[in-house]
Amino acid sequence: MKVSFHGQSVVQVKTENHTILIDPFITGNGLCDLDATKINPDVILLTHGHNDHVGDTVSIAKRSNALVVAPNELAVYLESRGLHTHPMHIGGAHTFDFGRVKLTPAFHGSLFVDENGKHIYGGMPAGILLTVEGKTIYHAGDTGLFSDLKLIGELNDIDLAFLPIGDNFTMGPEDALLAAEWIKAKQVVPMHYNTFPLIEQDGTAFATKVRPGKGIALQPGEFIEL
């Protein structure tokens, strides 16, 4: 499979039979190389309800009829917008035809502002453990450092992890390096940085310090084969 990074927290997983898109903040994301009017995923996975993560979910899912998997409150709202959703919650797992999804804790917020300026509560923010074709990918979502990351690493054999490093709203590089050590992923990619001035960081410098495993600072559009 190919796992690609597309700026901010946008990750795409292409397997033999499915295209899975995580947190599709495309329009308004100056680092994203994707076209929101052309991408056609089978599945959209959402970590939480902030606009820079929900992004183009509604328009993409309406056009492609993608299944949207999200924390319960966010899924309920998106279902009211006419989307096909599957609600989940922290600690819960479900096996789909494309793979297994488990939501993990993430310490953050979740408030979505719709096109009419209405504030929508998105439920508890989450990380995502995606197991597909025998590999496990951990997308931490937006989170600060918390000690149960050790437990996530102990309970899961993580092949590839995406960790936020932007600071201010999430972990900064120093905390993310400790998170990488705790989760023990074989490969770690930094995310949620450089999209806005407030979260500017050096992804390459972070990647060179990752232990154990290997840090890789992917540029938008670059991918890793698992």
State the amino acid at position 135 in one-letter form.
Answer: K
Q: What is the mean pLDDT of the chain?
A: 97
The answer, yes or no, to whether residue 73 has pLDDT greater than 90, is yes
Taken in order of first residue, the domains within the chain and their CATH numbers are 2-219 (3.60.15.10)
From the number of C-beta atoms within 10 Å of its C-beta (0-12, 13-18, 19+), residue 165 rates as buried
- Per-residue model confidence (pLDDT) at position 112: 87
**pLDDT digits 0-9 by tens, 205-216:** 999 999 888 999
Mean predicted confidence (pLDDT) in 24-51: 97
What pLDDT shows up at residue 115? 87
Q: Which residues of 201-226 are buried (b: 16+ CB within 10 A; e: fewer)?
A: bebeebbeebeebebbbbebeebbeb
Residue 126's alpha-carbon distances to 47, 105, 110, in angstroms, are 5, 5, 10
Model pLDDT, residue 59: 97
Instruction: List C-alpha distances in Å: 166 to 14, 27, 60, 163, 174.
Output: 26, 20, 27, 10, 10
pLDDT at 149: 98
The pLDDT tens digits of the residues spanning 125-184 come to 999 999 999 999 999 999 999 999 999 999 999 999 999 999 999 999 999 999 999 999
pLDDT the model gives residue 68? 98
